[in-house]
Structure 1
Amino acid sequence: MMIRFKTLAQLSSALCAVLFCAWMFAPATLLHTWDVAYADSAGIVARRNAALFAALALTLYLVREAPAGVARASVCAGFALGSAILAALGVFEFASGHAGAGIGSAVVVEIAMAALFALRWRDDHAQLRPSLARP
């Protein structure tokens, strides 16, 4: 059974809120888990990215009740794409030696989120365009 959009949006919103707090208030701790040295420049980027996680958390929370439609499909597609890119970047940074094995936990979560949002998008998209429905 496919996860309901409301549940997926609420869980993702909570995850983004936690990431906002971590990147805003403890960026050195997160970077340490990835074996990445903290520097003032990394802190600036981390706190600026925290703002993006806050925006995602609020957006996902507010859209949780949205019916299947273009707006909800767009949120799903965008979040799936962003999560997939983050996962690919994590793998690349690990493979190139810029991050340690600790980044693997982030990659696993990002792959899961990308897959769940992509599946939710596919199912919503099929409802909007019945000719694309699964056989």
Structure 2
Amino acid sequence: MTNEQKERITALRYQGYGYSKIAGVLSVSVNTVKSYCRRNGLDSDTLGILAACKQCGKPITIKEKYKLRQFCSDKCRALCWNSHQHKSREKTIYQFVCEKCGEAFESHGNKNRKYCSHDCYIAARFGKGRDGNE
């Protein structure tokens, strides 16, 4: 194994990659990667912190045998999702007119929507809005 491969293994391990993914990227044996990581303190027991939060950059502690977390908290996850809604995987956008208020609105991936908001749904179903008026 070359010094370049060793540096790459270390970098990928700190980014949160597992042994098999690193082996696939570098085209080396999984056991070679595993042995190198254990000898150099890069296994999950000694490393402890493998990744950083995508939103705030805070280090994330990984629990053994758990999926790699991308965010340190639900707050960061929601902030990241809300700030990147335009990158949604849902490519289908449907155009509708609200059955209650008549306002035009868009629905991402749901072609059966009838109302533009929860308030309009409640008003149509129960006969009044959130404030108690028709």
Same fold (TM over 0.5): no
Greater strand percent: which structure?
2
| Structure number with larger C-alpha Rg | 2
Q: Which has the higher contact order (CA 8 A, sep 6+)?
A: 1
TM-score using structure 1 length: 0.20
TM-score using structure 2 length: 0.20
